[in-house]
Amino acid sequence: EGGGDMATSGAGDPEALCCPGAGGLALLGLAPGAPSCPHGPALLFVKTSPGKEEGRRFYACSACRDRRDCNFFQWEDEKVSETRLAAREEYNRSHQPSFTHRQNVERYNNFILLPLSKRRFCQECQQLLLPAEWENHSDHQFLCDISTAQLETPSQLLYPLENKKTNAQYLFADRSCQFLLDLITALGFRRVLSVGTPRLHEMIQSKASQEDFRIRSLLLDIDFRYSQFYKEDEFCHYNMFNHYFFGGEAARETCRKFLHQDSGERVIMVTDPPFGGLVGALSSSFKKLMAMWKETEKGVYNNNQEMPMFWIFPYFFESRILEFFPSFSMMDYQVDYDNHALYKHGKTGRRQSPVRIFTNLTPSMIVLPVEEGYRFCAMCQRYVSSGNQHCEICNSCTSKDGRRWKHCVLCKKCVKPSWFHCSKCNCCTLPNHSCEEAGAGCFVCGKAGHKRSTCPSLSRS
């Protein structure tokens, strides 16, 4: 098997863990009247400690899991003085981007009028520079001769914010991006709500300039650098953990309008959130976007339908996603990335990516490329990985990671090939597990089997 690594190791796979947590953090969600940080309304959490019945509730930044990015914190029952409230408001104001989206659009319009020799991009500030601004950036590294092609592919001009847990920007490999777009096109969609998928958005945008390509895209992303390249009806500064539009009612209206399907133009939402993301928070935002889509449908048609969606996420979150979206199913397609060592299609052979597509569309409609080894299972009525064998007992193609899984009669289900049935634990697990370990929960997610440093809910790698 080409590189077991990430996709198959026990650590980082919450499904490998069978025992409920003994303490940790739980998300309660968006609460009415929640205080705000520069990233919009904070989320309410509860911190539980082993042995104590009731946990203590607190608010924390919805977007940043790294305290260095945003250290907003407030106990729910904390009294906040008027002066502190005022200071907080001032702080939130001063932490907004220095240019508004409108100003950035205007700057772009001026930028494209410049001759190539005067088109500079400051790599330190991640900003297109107008000649009058050169002086202020004189000791910064910059790129020259920024071409139209470069302006059309901002995801390659901007550096990915991958070091930050907050953004976790992992860009689709061209092959995966092209696959998604081909699939969307083949399914007959004409509009794509791109939530945290700047590379898919830019692929659509640059094709939109070609004559016979009719698909439109609106990008919702927390990365404001993209506002330098897109107009106000092409990009909204948005936080997908609290459904917050930084541009206020006008931006919300842009999104609402975009979701309105006139003349039968079908919409699909595609999202690829940071994997450290809290599934509960993401789900509640996505439900709000779905409701927005539905609202505009009033009295038109398909009233009892859901907005079609592709949610791109690792397979080990399957049960979490299905909890919130029971109509979804997971596709076997392995999504590859450019700037992620573990999830990309290597030079020497294929590394297994654990990232999949979850969708509420009928699985049989999601045609996976046969030349990449996917095949159609007539019994399951969906495309599966070549290694994914149909289990007669489960009556399903049960593999999650692309390898052939084996059926355990005691567990009454298929399990990873490397697992064995432990009679002490009474379940299938890794051969080298120690039975006593079970029960000692991870500090962060409360689940057993791993420690805080390797908690799958914190980071992708």
190, interface contact from Zn ion, ligand SAH, none, CB < 5-8 Å by kind: none
Residues 104 to 123 in contact with Zn ion, rule: CB under 5 A: 122
Instruction: Please report whether residue 221 would count as binding ligand SAH according to CB under 6 A.
Output: yes
58 or 343, CB closer to ligand SAH? 343
Whether the Cβ atoms of residue 428 and residue 419 lie closer than 8 Å to each other: yes
Quote the least distance from Cβ 393 to ligand SAH, whole Å.
37
Return left, alpha or beta for 176; rule: phi > 0 is left, psi -120 to 50 is alpha, else beta.
alpha
- Measured between alpha carbons, how far is 203 from 214 in angstroms, rounded to an integer? 13
Instruction: Please report whether residue 385 would count as binding ligand SAH according to CB under 6 A.
Output: no
- Measured between alpha carbons, how far is 364 from 42 in angstroms, rounded to an integer? 40
Number of other CB atoms surrounding residue 124 within 10 Å: 10
- Measured between alpha carbons, how far is 67 from 61 in angstroms, rounded to an integer? 9
Beta bridge partners of 290: none
From 198, 402, 441, 446, residue interacting with ligand SAH (rule: CB under 6 A) = 198
Q: Which stretch binds ligand SAH (CB under 6 A): 272-280, 293-301, 364-372, 415-423?
A: 272-280
- Measured between alpha carbons, how far is 236 from 324 in angstroms, rounded to an integer? 25
Whether the Cβ atoms of residue 166 and residue 277 lie closer than 8 Å to each other: no
Quote the least distance from Cβ 431 to Zn ion, whole Å.
12
From 229, 238, 358, 405, residue interacting with ligand SAH (rule: CB under 6 A) = 238
From 172, 235, 313, 328, residue interacting with ligand SAH (rule: CB under 6 A) = 172
Instruction: Please report whether residue 441 would count as binding ligand SAH according to CB under 6 A.
Output: no
CA 185 to chain centre: 21
365, interface contact from ligand SAH, Zn ion, none, CB < 5-8 Å by kind: none
Instruction: Please report whether residue 63 would count as binding ligand SAH according to CB under 6 A.
Output: yes
17 or 43, CB closer to Zn ion? 17
φ, ψ (nearest 5 deg) of residue 268: -130, 145
448, interface contact from Zn ion, ligand SAH, none, CB < 5-8 Å by kind: none
Whether the Cβ atoms of residue 321 and residue 282 lie closer than 8 Å to each other: no
Instruction: Please report whether residue 80 would count as binding Zn ion according to CB under 5 A.
Output: no
Instruction: Please report whether residue 314 would count as binding ligand SAH according to CB under 6 A.
Output: no
Instruction: Please report whether residue 124 would count as binding Zn ion according to CB under 5 A.
Output: yes
Q: How far apart are the first and last CA of the chain?
A: 20
From 240, 282, 438, 444, residue interacting with Zn ion (rule: CB under 5 A) = 438
Instruction: Please report whether residue 223 would count as binding ligand SAH according to CB under 6 A.
Output: yes
**Type of residue at 461:** S
Whether the Cβ atoms of residue 415 and residue 404 lie closer than 8 Å to each other: no
Q: Which residue ranges make up the site for ligand SAH (CB under 6 A)?
A: 63, 167-172, 196-200, 221-223, 238-241, 272-274
